[in-house]
Structure 1
Amino acid sequence: MRDKITVLIVDDERFSREELNFLLKPYDRIEVVGEAGSGDEAVMQTLKLQPDVLFLDVEMPKMDGMAVAKAVQELKKVPEIVFATAYPDFAVEAFRQKAIDYLLKPYDEEQLNETVERIEKKLQPVKEKAVNSPSKLAVEVEDMIEYLNPSEIMYVHREDRITKIVGKQKVYETKDALKDVEERLQGFSFFRIHKSYLVNLDYVHRLSPWFNGAYQLELQGTEEKLSVSRNYVKELRKKLEL
Protein backbone atom coordinates (compact mmCIF):
# COMPACT_ATOMS: atom_id res chain seq x y z
CA MET A 1 0.00 0.00 0.00
CA ARG A 2 1.04 3.57 -0.60
CA ASP A 3 2.49 5.02 2.65
CA LYS A 4 0.95 8.48 2.79
CA ILE A 5 -1.68 10.58 1.03
CA THR A 6 -0.51 14.19 1.14
CA VAL A 7 -3.02 16.97 1.83
CA LEU A 8 -3.02 20.76 1.49
CA ILE A 9 -5.66 22.58 3.57
CA VAL A 10 -6.95 25.81 1.99
CA ASP A 11 -9.14 28.18 4.01
CA ASP A 12 -8.98 31.92 4.65
CA GLU A 13 -10.00 31.33 8.29
CA ARG A 14 -7.11 30.15 10.48
CA PHE A 15 -9.36 28.41 13.01
CA SER A 16 -11.04 26.39 10.27
CA ARG A 17 -7.63 25.27 9.01
CA GLU A 18 -6.57 24.28 12.51
CA GLU A 19 -9.81 22.39 13.14
CA LEU A 20 -9.53 20.34 9.95
CA ASN A 21 -5.85 19.66 10.59
CA PHE A 22 -6.77 18.36 14.06
CA LEU A 23 -9.59 16.17 12.72
CA LEU A 24 -7.30 14.59 10.09
CA LYS A 25 -4.53 13.66 12.57
CA PRO A 26 -6.05 10.27 13.59
CA TYR A 27 -5.86 9.02 9.99
CA ASP A 28 -2.52 7.24 9.58
CA ARG A 29 -2.44 7.48 5.80
CA ILE A 30 -3.25 11.21 5.69
CA GLU A 31 -0.34 13.64 5.95
CA VAL A 32 -1.09 17.37 5.99
CA VAL A 33 1.92 18.88 4.20
CA GLY A 34 0.81 22.51 4.24
CA GLU A 35 -1.86 25.16 4.61
CA ALA A 36 -2.90 28.17 2.53
CA GLY A 37 -4.98 31.17 3.59
CA SER A 38 -5.92 32.46 0.13
CA GLY A 39 -6.61 31.29 -3.40
CA ASP A 40 -3.36 32.68 -4.80
CA GLU A 41 -1.35 31.04 -2.04
CA ALA A 42 -3.20 27.77 -2.64
CA VAL A 43 -2.11 27.64 -6.29
CA MET A 44 1.51 28.44 -5.38
CA GLN A 45 1.57 25.85 -2.59
CA THR A 46 0.00 23.24 -4.85
CA LEU A 47 2.71 23.87 -7.45
CA LYS A 48 5.42 23.68 -4.79
CA LEU A 49 4.20 20.79 -2.63
CA GLN A 50 2.31 18.75 -5.27
CA PRO A 51 -0.21 17.36 -2.76
CA ASP A 52 -2.45 14.43 -3.60
CA VAL A 53 -5.56 16.20 -2.25
CA LEU A 54 -6.74 19.77 -1.67
CA PHE A 55 -9.28 20.36 1.10
CA LEU A 56 -10.54 23.58 -0.43
CA ASP A 57 -12.78 26.24 1.09
CA VAL A 58 -15.25 27.58 -1.45
CA GLU A 59 -15.83 31.10 -0.10
CA MET A 60 -12.61 33.10 -0.09
CA PRO A 61 -11.99 36.74 -1.07
CA LYS A 62 -10.44 37.63 -4.44
CA MET A 63 -9.76 34.09 -5.71
CA ASP A 64 -12.40 31.66 -4.44
CA GLY A 65 -12.25 27.88 -4.23
CA MET A 66 -13.89 27.28 -7.61
CA ALA A 67 -11.27 29.48 -9.29
CA VAL A 68 -8.50 27.60 -7.50
CA ALA A 69 -9.94 24.25 -8.65
CA LYS A 70 -9.91 25.42 -12.26
CA ALA A 71 -6.37 26.83 -11.97
CA VAL A 72 -4.80 23.64 -10.61
CA GLN A 73 -6.20 21.66 -13.55
CA GLU A 74 -3.38 23.20 -15.61
CA LEU A 75 -0.61 21.93 -13.32
CA LYS A 76 1.58 18.93 -14.02
CA LYS A 77 0.18 17.00 -11.08
CA VAL A 78 -3.53 17.66 -10.68
CA PRO A 79 -4.70 17.01 -7.10
CA GLU A 80 -8.02 15.56 -6.09
CA ILE A 81 -10.41 18.19 -4.70
CA VAL A 82 -12.54 18.07 -1.56
CA PHE A 83 -14.61 21.26 -1.28
CA ALA A 84 -15.61 22.64 2.11
CA THR A 85 -18.25 25.30 2.77
CA ALA A 86 -20.95 26.37 5.19
CA TYR A 87 -23.44 26.60 2.30
CA PRO A 88 -24.90 23.52 0.55
CA ASP A 89 -25.85 25.56 -2.53
CA PHE A 90 -22.40 25.04 -4.03
CA ALA A 91 -22.76 21.25 -4.31
CA VAL A 92 -23.74 21.11 -7.99
CA GLU A 93 -20.91 23.38 -9.10
CA ALA A 94 -18.46 21.46 -6.91
CA PHE A 95 -19.16 18.20 -8.70
CA ARG A 96 -18.94 19.94 -12.06
CA GLN A 97 -15.34 20.57 -11.05
CA LYS A 98 -14.99 16.79 -10.59
CA ALA A 99 -14.57 17.09 -6.84
CA ILE A 100 -14.04 13.79 -5.06
CA ASP A 101 -16.29 14.98 -2.22
CA TYR A 102 -18.03 17.93 -0.59
CA LEU A 103 -17.92 18.73 3.14
CA LEU A 104 -20.25 21.05 5.03
CA LYS A 105 -19.08 23.24 7.90
CA PRO A 106 -19.04 22.80 10.80
CA TYR A 107 -17.28 19.53 10.08
CA ASP A 108 -19.03 16.31 10.97
CA GLU A 109 -16.56 13.58 11.97
CA GLU A 110 -18.66 10.79 10.45
CA GLN A 111 -18.91 12.62 7.13
CA LEU A 112 -15.17 13.34 7.22
CA ASN A 113 -14.49 9.66 7.81
CA GLU A 114 -16.52 8.78 4.71
CA THR A 115 -14.55 11.37 2.74
CA VAL A 116 -11.21 9.91 3.84
CA GLU A 117 -12.37 6.42 2.88
CA ARG A 118 -13.35 7.74 -0.54
CA ILE A 119 -9.95 9.39 -0.95
CA GLU A 120 -8.09 6.22 0.03
CA LYS A 121 -10.13 4.16 -2.42
CA LYS A 122 -9.52 6.64 -5.25
CA LEU A 123 -5.79 6.91 -4.59
CA GLN A 124 -4.90 3.26 -4.46
CA PRO A 125 -1.35 2.73 -5.76
CA VAL A 126 -0.92 2.25 -9.50
CA LYS A 127 0.54 -1.24 -9.19
CA GLU A 128 -2.43 -2.36 -7.09
CA LYS A 129 -4.85 -1.08 -9.71
CA ALA A 130 -2.93 -2.65 -12.58
CA VAL A 131 -3.34 -6.18 -11.15
CA ASN A 132 -7.04 -6.22 -11.96
CA SER A 133 -7.05 -3.79 -14.88
CA PRO A 134 -7.66 -4.99 -18.45
CA SER A 135 -4.69 -5.28 -20.80
CA LYS A 136 -6.38 -3.42 -23.68
CA LEU A 137 -7.85 0.05 -24.06
CA ALA A 138 -11.51 -0.01 -25.14
CA VAL A 139 -12.50 2.69 -27.66
CA GLU A 140 -16.02 3.12 -29.01
CA VAL A 141 -15.98 3.49 -32.83
CA GLU A 142 -19.43 4.18 -34.29
CA ASP A 143 -21.52 1.18 -33.18
CA MET A 144 -18.54 -1.01 -32.25
CA ILE A 145 -15.94 -1.22 -29.51
CA GLU A 146 -12.34 -1.68 -30.60
CA TYR A 147 -9.70 -2.94 -28.19
CA LEU A 148 -6.28 -1.37 -28.56
CA ASN A 149 -3.01 -2.78 -27.32
CA PRO A 150 -1.35 0.08 -25.36
CA SER A 151 2.01 -0.83 -26.88
CA GLU A 152 0.59 0.06 -30.33
CA ILE A 153 -0.45 3.57 -29.23
CA MET A 154 2.15 6.28 -29.98
CA TYR A 155 0.42 9.25 -28.38
CA VAL A 156 -2.94 10.67 -27.32
CA HIS A 157 -4.05 14.22 -28.13
CA ARG A 158 -7.00 16.34 -26.97
CA GLU A 159 -8.38 18.73 -29.61
CA ASP A 160 -11.75 20.52 -29.86
CA ARG A 161 -13.43 18.33 -27.22
CA ILE A 162 -12.26 15.19 -29.02
CA THR A 163 -9.49 12.91 -27.78
CA LYS A 164 -7.46 11.41 -30.63
CA ILE A 165 -5.62 8.15 -29.99
CA VAL A 166 -2.82 7.90 -32.53
CA GLY A 167 -1.81 4.30 -33.18
CA LYS A 168 0.86 2.90 -35.48
CA GLN A 169 -1.72 2.07 -38.12
CA LYS A 170 -4.79 4.19 -37.37
CA VAL A 171 -6.12 7.23 -35.50
CA TYR A 172 -9.09 6.66 -33.19
CA GLU A 173 -11.40 9.34 -31.76
CA THR A 174 -13.27 9.35 -28.46
CA LYS A 175 -15.19 11.91 -26.43
CA ASP A 176 -13.51 10.67 -23.24
CA ALA A 177 -11.42 13.34 -21.51
CA LEU A 178 -7.65 13.05 -21.84
CA LYS A 179 -7.37 12.67 -18.06
CA ASP A 180 -9.74 9.66 -18.17
CA VAL A 181 -7.69 7.97 -20.91
CA GLU A 182 -4.51 8.72 -18.96
CA GLU A 183 -5.91 7.03 -15.85
CA ARG A 184 -6.87 3.94 -17.86
CA LEU A 185 -3.33 3.73 -19.26
CA GLN A 186 -1.67 3.86 -15.84
CA GLY A 187 0.83 1.05 -15.45
CA PHE A 188 1.98 1.41 -19.06
CA SER A 189 4.77 3.64 -20.40
CA PHE A 190 2.75 6.81 -20.97
CA PHE A 191 3.72 10.31 -19.82
CA ARG A 192 1.95 13.68 -19.94
CA ILE A 193 4.11 16.22 -21.83
CA HIS A 194 1.50 18.97 -22.19
CA LYS A 195 -2.05 19.63 -21.00
CA SER A 196 -3.21 18.28 -24.37
CA TYR A 197 -0.68 15.48 -25.04
CA LEU A 198 0.09 12.08 -23.58
CA VAL A 199 2.93 10.10 -25.20
CA ASN A 200 4.16 6.52 -25.16
CA LEU A 201 7.79 6.83 -24.01
CA ASP A 202 8.73 3.70 -25.98
CA TYR A 203 8.37 5.72 -29.21
CA VAL A 204 10.38 8.80 -28.19
CA HIS A 205 13.17 9.51 -30.66
CA ARG A 206 14.43 13.07 -30.18
CA LEU A 207 13.92 16.06 -27.85
CA SER A 208 14.78 19.49 -29.28
CA PRO A 209 14.80 22.96 -27.63
CA TRP A 210 12.10 25.24 -28.95
CA PHE A 211 11.56 28.57 -27.14
CA ASN A 212 10.92 29.97 -23.63
CA GLY A 213 12.11 26.73 -22.05
CA ALA A 214 9.71 24.57 -24.06
CA TYR A 215 10.81 21.63 -26.21
CA GLN A 216 9.60 19.67 -29.21
CA LEU A 217 9.37 15.91 -29.12
CA GLU A 218 9.82 13.62 -32.14
CA LEU A 219 8.44 10.11 -32.10
CA GLN A 220 9.43 7.10 -34.16
CA GLY A 221 6.96 6.43 -36.95
CA THR A 222 5.64 9.96 -37.35
CA GLU A 223 7.01 13.26 -38.66
CA GLU A 224 4.79 15.32 -36.37
CA LYS A 225 6.59 17.28 -33.66
CA LEU A 226 4.80 17.44 -30.33
CA SER A 227 5.06 20.36 -27.91
CA VAL A 228 6.52 19.68 -24.47
CA SER A 229 5.56 22.29 -21.87
CA ARG A 230 8.53 23.52 -19.86
CA ASN A 231 6.86 22.34 -16.63
CA TYR A 232 7.17 18.75 -17.86
CA VAL A 233 10.65 18.78 -19.41
CA LYS A 234 12.67 17.94 -16.30
CA GLU A 235 10.49 14.99 -15.28
CA LEU A 236 10.35 13.74 -18.89
CA ARG A 237 14.15 13.62 -19.05
CA LYS A 238 14.25 11.72 -15.77
CA LYS A 239 11.87 9.17 -17.22
CA LEU A 240 13.85 8.78 -20.45
CA GLU A 241 17.51 8.97 -19.51
CA LEU A 242 19.77 6.37 -17.86
Structure 2
Amino acid sequence: MLRALIVDDEYPARMELRYQLSQFPDVEVIGEATNAREAMALINALDYDVIFLDVQMPGMTGIELAKSLKGRPVMPKVVFVTAYENYAVSAFEIPATDYLLKPIEAERLGETIQRLREAKEAAAGEARPEASEGAERPAGASKPQLTFLMCEKDDKQIPLPLNEIVYIFSEGYNVYVQTYSERYLTRHTLQELTERLPSSQFFRSHRSYLVNIYQVKEISPYFNGAYILKLKDKEHSEVIVSRSNVKRMKQLFSMG
Protein backbone atom coordinates (compact mmCIF):
# COMPACT_ATOMS: atom_id res chain seq x y z
CA MET A 1 0.00 0.00 0.00
CA LEU A 2 1.02 3.59 -0.67
CA ARG A 3 0.39 5.44 2.60
CA ALA A 4 -0.67 8.99 1.80
CA LEU A 5 -1.01 12.30 3.66
CA ILE A 6 -3.12 15.13 2.21
CA VAL A 7 -2.16 18.68 3.20
CA ASP A 8 -4.50 21.45 2.04
CA ASP A 9 -6.14 24.32 3.92
CA GLU A 10 -9.38 23.95 1.92
CA TYR A 11 -11.76 21.22 3.10
CA PRO A 12 -13.48 20.67 -0.30
CA ALA A 13 -10.08 20.22 -1.95
CA ARG A 14 -9.06 17.59 0.62
CA MET A 15 -12.33 15.70 0.22
CA GLU A 16 -12.10 15.75 -3.57
CA LEU A 17 -8.54 14.43 -3.56
CA ARG A 18 -9.42 11.79 -0.96
CA TYR A 19 -12.25 10.61 -3.22
CA GLN A 20 -10.00 10.51 -6.29
CA LEU A 21 -7.34 8.54 -4.42
CA SER A 22 -9.96 6.07 -3.18
CA GLN A 23 -10.25 4.85 -6.79
CA PHE A 24 -6.78 3.29 -6.44
CA PRO A 25 -6.98 0.13 -4.30
CA ASP A 26 -3.30 0.30 -3.34
CA VAL A 27 -3.47 3.88 -2.01
CA GLU A 28 -4.53 4.49 1.59
CA VAL A 29 -5.07 8.03 2.88
CA ILE A 30 -4.14 7.79 6.55
CA GLY A 31 -3.82 11.46 7.40
CA GLU A 32 -5.06 14.96 6.58
CA ALA A 33 -3.73 18.34 7.65
CA THR A 34 -4.88 21.90 7.07
CA ASN A 35 -1.47 23.58 7.43
CA ALA A 36 2.25 22.89 7.69
CA ARG A 37 2.26 22.73 11.50
CA GLU A 38 -0.38 19.99 11.57
CA ALA A 39 1.35 18.20 8.72
CA MET A 40 4.68 18.14 10.55
CA ALA A 41 3.06 16.64 13.65
CA LEU A 42 1.60 13.85 11.51
CA ILE A 43 4.87 13.28 9.65
CA ASN A 44 6.72 12.97 12.96
CA ALA A 45 4.15 10.44 14.19
CA LEU A 46 3.93 8.15 11.15
CA ASP A 47 5.86 7.11 8.08
CA TYR A 48 4.17 8.15 4.84
CA ASP A 49 5.07 7.05 1.34
CA VAL A 50 3.73 10.24 -0.23
CA ILE A 51 2.50 13.70 0.78
CA PHE A 52 0.00 15.42 -1.53
CA LEU A 53 0.88 18.99 -0.67
CA ASP A 54 -0.86 22.27 -1.47
CA VAL A 55 1.50 25.16 -2.18
CA GLN A 56 -0.33 28.22 -0.89
CA MET A 57 -1.39 27.81 2.76
CA PRO A 58 -1.55 30.13 5.77
CA GLY A 59 1.81 30.41 7.51
CA MET A 60 4.46 28.13 6.06
CA THR A 61 3.93 27.37 2.38
CA GLY A 62 4.00 23.89 0.91
CA ILE A 63 7.35 24.63 -0.74
CA GLU A 64 8.84 25.65 2.62
CA LEU A 65 7.42 22.56 4.33
CA ALA A 66 8.89 20.25 1.68
CA LYS A 67 12.31 21.90 2.03
CA SER A 68 12.18 21.41 5.81
CA LEU A 69 11.79 17.65 5.31
CA LYS A 70 15.15 17.27 3.58
CA GLY A 71 17.64 15.14 5.44
CA ARG A 72 15.07 13.07 7.30
CA PRO A 73 15.94 9.34 7.68
CA VAL A 74 12.67 8.44 5.97
CA MET A 75 11.83 11.04 3.33
CA PRO A 76 8.31 10.71 1.88
CA LYS A 77 7.74 11.50 -1.78
CA VAL A 78 6.16 14.91 -2.37
CA VAL A 79 3.45 15.60 -4.93
CA PHE A 80 2.43 19.24 -5.12
CA VAL A 81 -1.25 19.91 -5.82
CA THR A 82 -2.05 23.51 -6.69
CA ALA A 83 -4.07 25.77 -8.95
CA TYR A 84 -0.97 27.77 -9.91
CA GLU A 85 1.58 26.82 -12.58
CA ASN A 86 4.25 29.32 -11.55
CA TYR A 87 5.57 27.25 -8.61
CA ALA A 88 6.63 24.29 -10.76
CA VAL A 89 10.30 25.27 -11.04
CA SER A 90 10.64 25.68 -7.25
CA ALA A 91 8.80 22.40 -6.72
CA PHE A 92 11.13 20.34 -8.87
CA GLU A 93 14.20 21.90 -7.26
CA ILE A 94 13.24 20.14 -3.99
CA PRO A 95 12.81 17.67 -5.84
CA ALA A 96 9.14 16.77 -6.07
CA THR A 97 7.87 13.52 -7.58
CA ASP A 98 5.14 15.34 -9.46
CA TYR A 99 3.25 18.62 -9.80
CA LEU A 100 -0.53 18.39 -10.29
CA LEU A 101 -2.76 21.28 -11.30
CA LYS A 102 -6.27 21.64 -9.88
CA PRO A 103 -8.76 20.43 -10.93
CA ILE A 104 -6.90 17.13 -11.16
CA GLU A 105 -7.65 14.96 -14.16
CA ALA A 106 -8.14 11.26 -13.36
CA GLU A 107 -5.73 10.12 -16.08
CA ARG A 108 -3.05 12.54 -14.88
CA LEU A 109 -3.44 11.34 -11.27
CA GLY A 110 -3.13 7.77 -12.50
CA GLU A 111 0.26 8.62 -14.02
CA THR A 112 1.39 10.05 -10.69
CA ILE A 113 0.31 6.96 -8.76
CA GLN A 114 2.15 4.71 -11.22
CA ARG A 115 5.29 6.81 -10.76
CA LEU A 116 4.97 6.44 -6.98
CA ARG A 117 4.49 2.67 -7.30
CA GLU A 118 7.63 2.35 -9.39
CA ALA A 119 9.64 4.44 -6.92
CA LYS A 120 8.50 2.27 -4.00
CA GLU A 121 9.31 -0.94 -5.87
CA ALA A 122 12.76 0.39 -6.73
CA ALA A 123 13.42 1.30 -3.09
CA ALA A 124 12.30 -2.17 -1.98
CA GLY A 125 14.64 -3.75 -4.54
CA GLU A 126 17.59 -1.77 -3.19
CA ALA A 127 16.81 -2.93 0.36
CA ARG A 128 16.62 -6.66 -0.48
CA PRO A 129 20.38 -7.31 -0.89
CA GLU A 130 20.94 -6.24 2.73
CA ALA A 131 18.50 -8.87 3.91
CA SER A 132 20.10 -11.56 1.73
CA GLU A 133 23.52 -10.80 3.22
CA GLY A 134 22.29 -12.03 6.58
CA ALA A 135 21.53 -8.72 8.24
CA GLU A 136 18.90 -9.41 10.86
CA ARG A 137 15.90 -7.12 11.01
CA PRO A 138 13.87 -6.84 14.19
CA ALA A 139 10.33 -8.09 13.99
CA GLY A 140 7.98 -5.35 12.84
CA ALA A 141 10.84 -3.10 11.72
CA SER A 142 8.82 -1.92 8.74
CA LYS A 143 6.07 -0.75 11.11
CA PRO A 144 7.60 1.02 14.11
CA GLN A 145 5.62 1.06 17.33
CA LEU A 146 3.49 4.12 17.98
CA THR A 147 4.35 6.32 20.93
CA PHE A 148 1.11 8.26 20.68
CA LEU A 149 -1.93 7.98 18.42
CA MET A 150 -3.02 10.68 15.96
CA CYS A 151 -6.80 11.11 16.03
CA GLU A 152 -9.33 13.53 14.59
CA LYS A 153 -12.24 15.50 16.01
CA ASP A 154 -14.07 18.56 14.66
CA ASP A 155 -11.60 18.75 11.74
CA LYS A 156 -8.66 18.97 14.18
CA GLN A 157 -5.72 16.60 14.59
CA ILE A 158 -5.34 15.28 18.15
CA PRO A 159 -2.07 13.59 19.27
CA LEU A 160 -3.34 11.22 21.96
CA PRO A 161 -1.00 9.71 24.60
CA LEU A 162 -1.41 5.94 24.77
CA ASN A 163 -2.19 5.85 28.49
CA GLU A 164 -5.31 7.99 27.89
CA ILE A 165 -6.81 5.39 25.56
CA VAL A 166 -9.41 3.16 27.20
CA TYR A 167 -10.30 1.11 24.13
CA ILE A 168 -10.41 1.25 20.34
CA PHE A 169 -13.18 -0.19 18.20
CA SER A 170 -14.27 -0.49 14.60
CA GLU A 171 -17.74 0.42 13.39
CA GLY A 172 -18.46 0.01 9.71
CA TYR A 173 -15.52 1.50 7.80
CA ASN A 174 -14.42 3.72 10.70
CA VAL A 175 -12.16 3.14 13.70
CA TYR A 176 -12.80 5.10 16.91
CA VAL A 177 -10.70 5.74 20.00
CA GLN A 178 -12.42 6.08 23.39
CA THR A 179 -10.80 7.95 26.27
CA TYR A 180 -12.36 8.57 29.70
CA SER A 181 -14.92 11.04 28.33
CA GLU A 182 -14.14 11.65 24.63
CA ARG A 183 -14.39 9.69 21.39
CA TYR A 184 -12.12 10.35 18.41
CA LEU A 185 -11.77 9.08 14.86
CA THR A 186 -8.47 7.60 13.70
CA ARG A 187 -7.35 6.83 10.15
CA HIS A 188 -5.48 3.70 11.24
CA THR A 189 -7.08 0.31 10.71
CA LEU A 190 -7.71 -1.87 13.74
CA GLN A 191 -5.28 -4.47 12.40
CA GLU A 192 -2.55 -1.86 11.98
CA LEU A 193 -3.07 -0.65 15.55
CA THR A 194 -2.93 -4.23 16.81
CA GLU A 195 0.50 -4.54 15.19
CA ARG A 196 1.87 -1.12 16.16
CA LEU A 197 0.62 -0.55 19.72
CA PRO A 198 2.54 -2.24 22.58
CA SER A 199 1.23 -5.81 22.92
CA SER A 200 1.99 -5.71 26.65
CA GLN A 201 -0.56 -2.89 27.04
CA PHE A 202 -3.15 -3.33 24.27
CA PHE A 203 -5.13 -6.53 23.90
CA ARG A 204 -7.26 -7.56 20.90
CA SER A 205 -10.23 -8.91 22.84
CA HIS A 206 -12.47 -9.32 19.79
CA ARG A 207 -12.19 -8.72 16.05
CA SER A 208 -13.81 -5.29 16.62
CA TYR A 209 -12.11 -4.25 19.88
CA LEU A 210 -8.63 -3.38 21.12
CA VAL A 211 -8.44 -2.75 24.88
CA ASN A 212 -5.90 -0.99 27.11
CA ILE A 213 -5.45 -3.60 29.87
CA TYR A 214 -4.64 -0.87 32.41
CA GLN A 215 -8.13 0.55 31.86
CA VAL A 216 -9.95 -2.68 32.82
CA LYS A 217 -12.03 -2.39 35.99
CA GLU A 218 -13.73 -5.82 36.15
CA ILE A 219 -13.59 -9.18 34.36
CA SER A 220 -16.72 -11.33 34.30
CA PRO A 221 -17.60 -14.69 32.68
CA TYR A 222 -20.07 -14.49 29.81
CA PHE A 223 -21.85 -17.07 27.64
CA ASN A 224 -20.15 -20.04 25.96
CA GLY A 225 -16.72 -19.45 27.44
CA ALA A 226 -16.50 -15.75 26.52
CA TYR A 227 -15.82 -12.96 29.02
CA ILE A 228 -16.88 -9.34 29.53
CA LEU A 229 -14.46 -6.55 30.43
CA LYS A 230 -15.91 -3.56 32.28
CA LEU A 231 -13.75 -0.52 31.58
CA LYS A 232 -12.81 2.68 33.41
CA ASP A 233 -14.26 5.24 31.01
CA LYS A 234 -17.04 7.57 32.12
CA GLU A 235 -19.77 5.26 30.77
CA HIS A 236 -18.20 2.09 32.23
CA SER A 237 -18.27 0.49 28.81
CA GLU A 238 -18.39 -3.28 28.51
CA VAL A 239 -16.33 -5.08 25.87
CA ILE A 240 -16.55 -8.76 25.00
CA VAL A 241 -13.60 -11.13 24.99
CA SER A 242 -14.25 -13.80 22.37
CA ARG A 243 -13.52 -17.42 23.26
CA SER A 244 -10.49 -17.53 20.97
CA ASN A 245 -8.88 -14.64 22.91
CA VAL A 246 -9.60 -15.82 26.46
CA LYS A 247 -6.28 -17.64 26.80
CA ARG A 248 -4.34 -14.49 25.95
CA MET A 249 -6.46 -12.46 28.38
CA LYS A 250 -5.70 -14.87 31.21
CA GLN A 251 -2.00 -14.63 30.43
CA LEU A 252 -2.06 -10.83 30.51
CA PHE A 253 -3.91 -10.69 33.82
CA SER A 254 -2.10 -13.71 35.35
CA MET A 255 -5.39 -15.53 35.83
CA GLY A 256 -5.08 -19.16 36.86
TM-score w.r.t. the length of structure 2 is 0.49
Alignment of 1:199-218 (within 5 A): none
Q: Distance in 2 between matches of 1:12 and 1:186?
A: 41
Aligned to 1:124, what secondary structure does the other structure show? helix
2:52 to 55, 61, 80: 55
Structure 2: gaps of 5 or more residues? 136-256
Asked whether the equivalents of residues 126 and 186 of structure 1 are also in contact (C-alpha less than 8 Å), the reply is: no
For 2:33 and 2:82, the matched residues in 1 are separated by: 16
- Please give the alpha-carbon distance, in whole angstroms, between the structure 2 residues aligned to 1:127 and 1:85: 30
1:99 corresponding residue in structure 2: 96
- The whole-number CA distance in structure 2 between the counterparts of 1:186 and 1:71 is 31
Which residue in the other structure is 1:140 paired with?
none
Matched, 1:118 2:115: yes
Report matched runs for 1:1-242 at 5 Å.
Answer: 4-124=1-121, 126-129=123-126
Task: Measure, in 2, the Cα distance between the counterparts of 1:186 and 1:54.
Answer: 28
Q: Distance in 1 between matches of 2:72 and 2:131?
A: 18
Runs (5+) with no aligned partner, structure 1 = 134-184, 190-242
Cα deviation for residue 129 of structure 1 reads 4.6
- For residues 187 and 84 of structure 1, do their structure 2 counterparts lie closer, same or farther at Cα, with a shift above 3 Å needed? farther
Give, as a single letter, the amino acid of the residue that structure 1 aligns with 2:6. I
Question: Structure 1 45/120 Cα, relative in aligned 2: closer, same or farther at 3 Å?
Answer: same
> What is the aligned length?
136
The alpha-carbon distance between structure 1 residues 129 and 36, as it changes in their structure 2 partners (threshold 3 A), is same
Match of 2:117, SS state, is: helix
CA deviation digits over 1:203-242, x for unaligned, max 9? xxxxxxxxxxxxxxxxxxxxxxxxxxxxxxxxxxxxxxxx
- Give the match's secondary structure for 2:121: coil
Distance in 1 (alpha carbons) for counterparts of 2:122 and 2:2: 10
- Given that 1:33 and 1:49 are in contact with CA atoms closer than 8 Å, whether structure 2 keeps it comes out as no
Q: Please provide the CA RMSD for this pair.
A: 2.5
SS in 2 for 1:46: helix
Report the alpha carbon displacement of residue 187 of structure 1 after superposing the two structures with TM.
7.6
Deviation at 1:74, TM superposition (A): 3.9
Q: Deviations over 1:66-122 (max 9, x none)?
A: 111012224332111000110111111100011000000111111101000100011
Identity percentage of aligned residues = 40
TM-score, normalization by structure 1: 0.52
**How far has the Cα of 1:126 moved from its partner?**
4.5
> What is the alpha-carbon distance in structure 1 between the residues aligned to residue 114 and residue 48 of structure 2?
17
